[in-house]
Structures are given as C-alpha cells and as structure tokens.
A and B are shown apart, each in its own frame.
Chain A
C-alpha cells in the first residue's frame, strides 16, 4: 500500500496485556511459572477484549499499541495469541528484564512507572499529533496512575518538579528519570487522552478511582467499555453488539449480566440513556444480530427496565485535577513494603 492510500491515524488505543487483555494469574510463583510456559492457544483473553479491539480498529484509522510488563522472551507466544484472536497490533513493547538483571537493576524488575511511563512517552513522540488516545489497563498494579500521569504530562497539566518527585518516589533510577524528562520535553503539548479504562480484575471498588477524575473509567467488563465508547462516538451501535455477542458466546454472559453492567454504568453517572435508543434501532434492524442471544424484544425490555428502575439519574462526576503527590502509594509495586 502506498503512503497516499494509508488512512490518517486518528486514534491510538494503548493496551496493557496481563489482566487487561489476557486473563493472567501471577499472584504466586506457581502462577508465574504456569503463565511463562503456556502456549498461545492456552492463553485466554478477557471476555470481549478481542472483539472490542477488532471493532476499534475496523475503520483502519487507528493504531494499536501494546505495552506489557511480560518479559521479551514471551514475544513469540504473545504475538501468536493475538494473531489467533484476530488482533493486529502496531506496537508490542515488552519488558527486558534480563537486561535489568544483568545491570543489577532489581528495583526495575517490579517497577511499573519506570518502565511504562517512558515507553508511553516514546510511543507518543512518534504519534500523529492530532491522534486521540484511549488507554486500557487494570487494577492489579499502577495503570490508573501511570496512564493518568502520561496524559497529564503530554497535556502539560503537571509540573516538572512534581513529575520528578513522583518518579523518585516510584524508585525510578536517576538516569531513567533523566531520560523520561528528555523525551517529555520533545513531545509537543496536546491533550490527546480521552479515556482511561481500568479493567477491575481485582474488583477494586469503583470509587477508588474517583481520585483520578472522570477520565478514568473502572469497568467490570468490556461491554461496559464498549457502551462508553459508543456514547463517546468511538464505536457504532452494531460494533457494541458484536462485543456483547462474543461475550455471550464465549464466556457465558447473558441478558442479566449485560443489563446489570449497563445499569451499573448509569448508576455511576454515565448518561447512557441515548445509547439504548441507538442500540435498539440496530438490534431491530435487518440481520437482528442479537437474536443469537435472546429474542430482541426481551433484550430491549431488560435494558429499558434497568433504566426505569433507577430514581433520579445521578449527575456525571465532575472533572478534577489529579494530585499525584497524594497518590504516590499507587505508583509503587503492589507488594512494596511502603505501600499501604
């Protein structure tokens, strides 16, 4: 394809892998070993994640950048897994822990901020300036913190001394701090990050993430992410239905769990009332995609019932600045002795 034929990249979707895209267990040594030796076909994606990525990339104007803490040695198996799922990525950055070991950088083995933040900034450096970004992480480590800091650094909403303090508290090595600062200074100021989705793998209470403002959206599943992206104009109604159908067909989701997920978002202040109308029109249209789940009238009834069950709709959460210095705990590895 010639450069002229290539579509302009309008959107960048950045994904973490473990516990965000993949259902990975690494809470114990045996989990880690099992994960390390799993073959591509044995790895399981989080329900709906693959379908969501496929739909987000369907228009050909989006870039998928994956940054994962998995070791570089797993590149082949991870790339194969993504291919099996029909997920085409543009970047796949993995952590070079052998190099960290050889350099005696033991803190970098567990550290999230010192690895992910420079990776994100480096990627942004080569990204089209107008491209909007939507980020996907999880609640197992520091994704909400790192992604928010990245977004605010690019938008220049956070000062250099604060970033310095944060990186120091996160035990990033001094030369790496210098590199972060250097890359950051080269990135043109913009405000590209629209949403940060946090997959609640550990079922952290959603209110915990209010400290990061409404840009961070904790989700219990990717149907919820698809609904928010529909409301934001990133997906079309039939694409949301594709995500739902994959979750029903591959992971046992049903009308009850999907409609509960929908209501959960509304109760958290997402104005999704209009979304249901557009979904209804598509669901009733030719092909009636959702008939494979339940008869369409049942589905519509279940969702409208969830809306009518609510009292006064809650107000969407207000925008707020993030006070990173008060959130330093979130920047440390989960098992860090200083983390409360």
Chain B
C-alpha cells in the first residue's frame, strides 16, 4: 500500500442515482444531479426511477442532457417497508434496478437516499464482496474537535453503523482497512489514524472479538492503528477512523444524533424563556453559524457502504440537492481513485 495518494486524472465516471424513495421526493434528487452535470464535466448520471416524473422535472431544471440518461423503474421501496419483503415483491423497484445496472457495468457507483435496508440489501444481492471481505460495512462521518488531512477535515469516519450487526474479529479488521482506505482517498488524509471502539483503551478491554481484532490490527502493516478508543473520544476526534460492529455503531450514532437534537431543543427553549438568554444566544450566533459551516455533513453527501466491488453511497433520507450532488462527487472520487482495489491491496493476505 502506498503511503500517499497520487491524484488521478479525472476520467469519465457514470454514477447511478436512485431517484425515488427519499423523504423530500424525486425532484430534490434530480435537482442535485442536474447541478452535478453542470459542475463536474467528468461525471455522467444515470437516473433510475419513474421516467415520467424524471422527464418532467429535468425539463424544468438547468442541466446538461449530454451527461444524463434515464432508466425507467416503475416501482419504489418506501421508507416504512421491510426491505427483504419489499424487494421480493418489487423486483423493478428503483433501488434494485439501479444496483443491477451498476453490477452490469452501466454505471460504476450507486447513490440512493431511500430505505437504508433496501439499499444495502440490493447491493448485497447484485454486488460482489471483495475477496477477503466477508461482510460489508456502512460508514458515516461525525464532526469532531480535531481536524485532519490535507483539507483540515473536521469529520471522523465511524464504521460499521448498521450493515453488519454481529461482526467477527476478522470483520472488524476488514472494516479498519476499508475505513482507512476511504479516509485516505476521500478526506485526503495520507495516514489516517484507526482505532477500535471499546469500553477502555487497554488492549484487553472489550468483548473477545474486539480483543482479538486489536491483536490482529497491531500486526497489520499498512494502516496506522492507534489502539482502542472510548465513546467519549468520538466527538473529540482522537482517531480519524473509528471501527466497531454495526450494533454498537448504530447505537452510538443514534445517541450522538439524540444529543445534538437535545442541545438544539435546549437552545430553542433558552431563546424563548428569557430575554437575557436570547441576547446571549444572539451574540453567539455568528459562532454557531461558523460551527454549522465547518460541521456541515452535506459536504460529504452520505454514508458509503464499503466492502463491495462497486461503490454505494447512502445519502440521508432528508438530503437536499447539494448533499445529493456531493454524494455523487464522493462516489466518483472513490471510483476514480479505485477505492475497491486500494482496499483489496491492504487486506490481510
């Protein structure tokens, strides 16, 4: 594995977008893709969803039609459906059709803001796991105190946050390798620090699979393993990549989101409660705005599912156009820099 990432020339990349199933409707996804075709001459978009809806929306939006193609898919998996049952009942659901087209080589990566379970399951049905990877991982970014990489990136990467509930030691090692490669390429962080999430920093802390993974990662060349971190280290940004199984990761993520929501609610309560508090918050507003800019998750566009031979970015269900465009850019960057090959090179032989 090389220690630094050489910028690859911008080769044409086609990204498939599942247009249906997002909370904000297909128009928001199409707006994001339309802007992408104007901003990035090397990215082609394959829009998958209801053809009539896509055509009507595209006609009203500034876009470059030379870089857009449409695949009609008559069915949709909605957010509240059970993934496996929905995909079985709807073989022509947009997410399934999009994943199939990516697997067939019509596009090189997939972006969806739809039902997460259905997205991951579609990938599992149509994509192949990389040799040496037994289970895929869903990764997400979290804003931290520390910054990292050539771009001063405030986000650390946490994986897995839900794809694999019960991961083995080998799975955790593979997640570490995948997260490291992703951070190197997407965050332009030449040597990202990688840690295991546990209930103590000592090597023997945690359940047996975490202890075993710790031992294996210490022996693994090519990644900068810094040992265990605790939950408190996630917002501090002690490590650039935090590795855990999907159960723990999902609980962590939801808790962090809950804390964030609670802080916002408290601030809004304070704003309404006393004039003095309101004045104080107003004085801090420019600082809050700055924090909002720095920690704007939309710049990342979404969460990658790592471990497959094809790239998949799961955008947030409430993603706006900008987030969708950025998800497309991240997917294209991962493809251009051959993320899958980078991961494979770094996996234990």
Which A residues are closer than 8 A to B by beta carbons? Answer: 203-207, 220-221, 253-254, 256-257, 259-261, 263-264, 267-268, 306, 309-312, 314
Contacts and interface: CB of A to CB of B under 8 A. Distances in A.
B219 to A, nearest CB: 45
A257 B45 CA distance: 11
A256 B60 contact: no
A217 to B, nearest CB: 13
A203 B74 contact: no
Nearest to B65: A264
Contacts of B44: 256, 260
Interface residues on B, range: 20 to 34
A257 B66 contact: yes
A261 B66 contact: yes
B72 A207 contact: no
Interface in B1-28: 12, 14
Contacts of A204: 62
B36 to A, nearest CB: 13
Interface string B61-80: 11111111111101000000
A264 B61 CA distance: 13
B59 interface: yes
Interface in B63-114: 63-72, 74
A57 B200 CA distance: 80
Interface in B184-243: none
Contact of B69 (A206, A306, A312, A314): A306
B52 interface: yes
Interface of B: 12, 14, 38, 44, 50-52, 55, 58-72, 74
Contact of A260 (B51, B62, B67): B67
Contact of A220 (B12, B60, B64, B69): B64
A144 to B, nearest CB: 15
Given A260-B65, A311-B50, 11 more contacts: A203-B63, A203-B64, A205-B63, A257-B66, A260-B66, A260-B69, A263-B69, A263-B70, A264-B66, A268-B55, A309-B70
Contacts of B51: 267, 310-312
Contacts of A253: 66
A220 B72 contact: no
B39 to A, nearest CB: 12
B66 A311 contact: no
B72 A309 contact: yes
A306 B66 CA distance: 13
Contacts of A207: 59-60
Contacts of A306: 69
A203 B14 CA distance: 21
Contacts of A311: 50-52, 72, 74
Contacts of B67: 257, 260
A73 to B, nearest CB: 34
Contact of B14 (A205, A256, A309): A256
Contact of A267 (B14, B38, B63, B70): B70
A207 B44 CA distance: 22
B66 A221 contact: yes
B60 A205 contact: yes
Contacts of B69: 256, 259-260, 263, 306, 309
A257 B67 CA distance: 6
Contacts of A256: 12, 14, 44, 69
Contacts of A268: 55, 59
Contact of B61 (A205, A259, A310): A205
Give the most central of A254, A261, A264, A310: most B CB within 10 Å.
A264
Contact of B66 (A206, A220, A309, A312): A220
B267 to A, nearest CB: 40
Contacts of B74: 311
Contact of B62 (A203, A259, A309): A203
Looking at B50, B51, B69, the one whose CB has the most chain A CB atoms below 10 A away is B69
Contacts of A310: 51, 70, 72
Contacts of B62: 203-205
Nearest to A258: B66
A263 B68 CA distance: 9
A-B interface, 6 closest residue pairs, ranked by CB to CB distance from nearest: A311-B72, A311-B51, A264-B65, A207-B59, A257-B66, A309-B71
